[in-house]
Chain A
Amino acid sequence: MAVVVNVSPAPDAGTRAKDAGRSRLLLGGLGAFALLAVAGWFGPRWLTFLVTMAAANGLVSLGIVCLMRGGVVPFGQGMVFAVGGYAAALIYNKLGFTDALGLALAGGALAVAVAAPFAPLLARYRGIFFAMLTLALSMVTYGLLMKMDALGGSDGFNMSRPTLLGQALPDAHAGYVLYLVTLGIATLMAVLARIYFDSTRGLITLAVRENELRVEYLGGSARRAMMLNFLIAAFCGGLGGALAVMSLGHIDPNFSFWTTSGEFVFVAILAGWQSVAAVFLSSVALEVVRSFSSAYFPNSWQLALGLFLLFVIRFLPRGIGSLWMKRDRT
């Protein structure tokens, strides 16, 4: 078993600082969740739906950020998004299991199961080859889904409203409850992601981005770090897909199409790899741009998106997260 870079026991002051950081993180997460929960109760229905979708999609992008920290960008996260979504919808329709939290977890777990056989292989690739191979996988998934009549082919199929902890959701508040569920899971994952990013394992990922060979010489395993990140990204993507399908009530192969994956990458690039909160803010920004442009300029919203992306790459190469995160001490 390869030994991961060994960290000597931290001094007391350091441990205390870390604990303080953790509790601040937890408080921040809880605070954000509480604030959004209250705001959602009073907000208009279209807005809660928009934020729900943004949070679900943001989870997929969070997975991409996880990989981006290691210097690779997957261009096919639509695959795990679709697997999670189809898994949740199929379990609901065929097995009669309807709990929202259980379905979300099942979506994440199945996405990991589907991605796992590819993880050792993908961990060997970098740069555009990683991007293209993930793209190929997602397009194979897309092709399979299009042709499977049992899964509705290109039309996909519908899924009715899930339940929560054995309770049927009341008609009036179903959207709000799903909003809470999605936000809750997203907040939890965001906090966990932050803890992971700051852990020894998470920091090895950053080291791989800087210089892979050095990591290997120091006794760390770049491939293992990349594999782990890929699986985490798959879990996030599956969760996102399951949560999205619960709110949408419909799924089709476009979940796995490469332009869908492109949007997730867009959000991840806009966010940058430094801040976790930035991922969800960017996801909301994308949803807002999407809804407003498709309402007011139905034929040119991609145009706006493209210009926006160019602007970000040119002037904010480290994403909006770099606006409030400290610069690297390199």
Chain B
Amino acid sequence: MNTIVTILVDGLTYASWLFIVALGLTLVFGVLKILNIAHGSFYAVGAYAAASFTAWGASLKWAPALSLVMLLLAAVAVALVLAPLTERGLLRYFYGRDEVLLVLVTYALFLIMEDLTKLIWGPLPYYVSEPYGLFGNVEMGVQSWVGYDFALVALALLVGVVVWWGLNRTRQGKIVLAVIHSAEVASSMGVNVSRVYMLAFSVGIFLAALGGAFTAPMISVQPGLSVGVIIVSFAVVIIGGLGSIEGAAIGALIVGLARSFAVHVVPVAELFSIYVVMAVVLMFRPEGLFQRTQARKI
């Protein structure tokens, strides 16, 4: 019984940050048709920025509760600086090229960012311990959980609802949906497609950085962070179906639970449980669980 609760809570916590990150990945793919390998790098930069921002806040002797605000500000800053730089400075030269080639462009970006983060923040690990204790502990039966984990779940829900609402219930969101459907038609209707591209890319990067910033307190922020994240979030969006919000949520839950089940029951299988799930889904539903099958053009 205890094991089941542990699996569920661990899986849910893991799924919540993963959902935030994967949502950004799926949004960028939906709009720009780019499967962004560098997404994990933006996650890592978000985590590093969070470390710098909270350290800065602490040095100014701000109240500990403000460290949460610093986490958010870190993610905003990353999106504001890096998203326009990447989209305008690099990606726009490759729009309309083959999808696999675009994957390679972002692979190059991943390589570049991997070294740049090391050059900026150095090879030593950072710890962002301050916000982790803010929510106290939650007692459940004999076990006790860190409140922050549950706060993270709440944040994931909030992010999911906001993005869904923004896309489906606002004018700007509907324009984005129109661009997802057909950039060409949207453009001929007077939509400024390149502005939508930049907006969607910025939101995607913000979500990656947000995921990074809010997981930073739970981990040690060090080089190599991006590699693991990108592979796992790929699995999530592939399972859920590229470009689908519901898919990202379900995919994150499946991956989170599969991983935590493996960790607690068959530790040997931890690393590849996720990929086994992904491979199985790809075999039976190559378009993902939540993607409608598309007819191929002749």
Are B100's CB and A147's CB within 8 A?
Answer: no
| Chain A residue at minimum C-beta to C-beta distance from B107 | A262
Looking at A128, A147, A266, A317, the one whose CB has the most chain B CB atoms below 10 A away is: A128
Are A313's CB and B112's CB within 8 A?
Answer: no
The complex places the Cα of A144 from the Cα of B93 at a distance, in Å, of 40
Q: How far is the CB of B115 from chain A (nearest CB, A)?
A: 4
Partner among B103, B108, B109, B118 whose Cβ is within 8 Å of the Cβ of A128: B103
Partner among B97, B111, B231 whose Cβ is within 8 Å of the Cβ of A258: B231
* Interface mask (A258-270 → B, CB under 8 Å = 1, otherwise 0): 1100100110010
A-chain residues with CB within 8 Å of residue B99 when the two chains form the complex: 127-128
Are B271's CB and A310's CB within 8 A?
Answer: no
Which positions 246-298 of chain B face chain A at CB distance < 8 Å? 268-272, 275-276, 278-279, 282-283, 286, 298
The complex places the Cα of A107 from the Cα of B108 at a distance, in Å, of 30
Q: Given the known A-B contacts A139-B272, A259-B227, are A132 and B234 also in contact in the complex, defined by CB atoms under 8 Å? A: yes
Does B90 sit at the interface, judged by CB under 8 A?
A: yes
Which positions 113-143 of chain A face chain B at CB distance < 8 Å? 121, 124-125, 127-129, 131-133, 135-137, 139-140, 142-143
B-chain residues with CB within 8 Å of residue A303 when the two chains form the complex: 111-112, 114-116, 119
Are B235's CB and A136's CB within 8 A?
Answer: yes
B-chain residues with CB within 8 Å of residue A144 when the two chains form the complex: 272
B-chain residues with CB within 8 Å of residue A139 when the two chains form the complex: 231, 271-272, 275
Does A207 sit at the interface, judged by CB under 8 A?
A: no
| Chain B residue at minimum C-beta to C-beta distance from A137 | B279
The complex places the Cα of A133 from the Cα of B35 at a distance, in Å, of 14
Partner among A73, A132, A265, A313 whose Cβ is within 8 Å of the Cβ of B105: A313
Are A143's CB and B115's CB within 8 A?
Answer: no
Secondary structure of the A side of the interface? helix
* Interface mask (B195-236 → A, CB under 8 Å = 1, otherwise 0): 000000000000000000000000000000001000100110
Does A305 sit at the interface, judged by CB under 8 A?
A: yes
B-chain residues with CB within 8 Å of residue A330 when the two chains form the complex: none
Partner among A127, A135, A259 whose Cβ is within 8 Å of the Cβ of B234: A135
Are A142's CB and B111's CB within 8 A?
Answer: no
Q: How far is the CB of B218 from chain A (nearest CB, A)?
A: 23
Does A299 sit at the interface, judged by CB under 8 A?
A: yes
Looking at B231, B235, B271, the one whose CB has the most chain A CB atoms below 10 A away is: B271
| Chain A residue at minimum C-beta to C-beta distance from B297 | A213
The complex places the Cα of A309 from the Cα of B235 at a distance, in Å, of 25
The complex places the Cα of A297 from the Cα of B235 at a distance, in Å, of 34
B-chain residues with CB within 8 Å of residue A266 when the two chains form the complex: 104, 107
Q: Given the known A-B contacts A132-B282, A143-B271, A309-B108, are A300 and B119 also in contact in the complex, defined by CB atoms under 8 Å? A: yes
A-chain residues with CB within 8 Å of residue B118 when the two chains form the complex: 299
Partner among B110, B275, B279 whose Cβ is within 8 Å of the Cβ of A306: B110
Does B94 sit at the interface, judged by CB under 8 A?
A: yes
Does B101 sit at the interface, judged by CB under 8 A?
A: yes
Partner among A129, A147, A302 whose Cβ is within 8 Å of the Cβ of B111: A302
* Interface mask (A141-185 → B, CB under 8 Å = 1, otherwise 0): 011101100000000000000000000000000000000000000
Which positions 92-147 of chain B face chain A at CB distance < 8 Å? 93-94, 97, 99-101, 103-105, 107-112, 114-116, 118-119, 123
Q: How far is the CB of A147 from chain B (nearest CB, A)?
A: 5
A-chain residues with CB within 8 Å of residue B268 when the two chains form the complex: 147
The complex places the Cα of A125 from the Cα of B288 at a distance, in Å, of 13
The complex places the Cα of A144 from the Cα of B275 at a distance, in Å, of 11
The complex places the Cα of A131 from the Cα of B101 at a distance, in Å, of 11
Does A307 sit at the interface, judged by CB under 8 A?
A: yes
Does A314 sit at the interface, judged by CB under 8 A?
A: yes
Are A136's CB and B278's CB within 8 A?
Answer: yes
Q: Given the known A-B contacts A136-B235, A307-B112, are A269 and B282 also in contact in the complex, defined by CB atoms under 8 Å? A: no
Are A302's CB and B115's CB within 8 A?
Answer: yes
Does B238 sit at the interface, judged by CB under 8 A?
A: yes
| Chain B residue at minimum C-beta to C-beta distance from A299 | B118
Which positions 163-206 of chain B face chain A at CB distance < 8 Å? none
Q: How far is the CB of B222 from chain A (nearest CB, A)?
A: 14
Q: Given the known A-B contacts A147-B271, A307-B108, are A129 and B286 also in contact in the complex, defined by CB atoms under 8 Å? A: yes
Chain B interface residues toward A at CB < 8 A: 35, 90, 93-94, 97, 99-101, 103-105, 107-112, 114-116, 118-119, 123, 227, 231, 234-235, 238, 242, 268-272, 275-276, 278-279, 282-283, 286, 298
- 14 pairs, A vs B, C-beta closer than 8 Å: A73-B100, A124-B286, A127-B100, A133-B282, A136-B278, A137-B275, A139-B272, A140-B279, A143-B270, A262-B107, A266-B104, A302-B114, A303-B119, A305-B111
Additional 17 contacts, C-beta under 8 A, given A139-B272, A140-B275, A313-B101: A72-B100, A73-B100, A73-B103, A121-B283, A127-B100, A132-B238, A135-B231, A135-B234, A140-B279, A143-B271, A258-B227, A265-B104, A299-B123, A305-B108, A306-B110, A306-B111, A306-B115
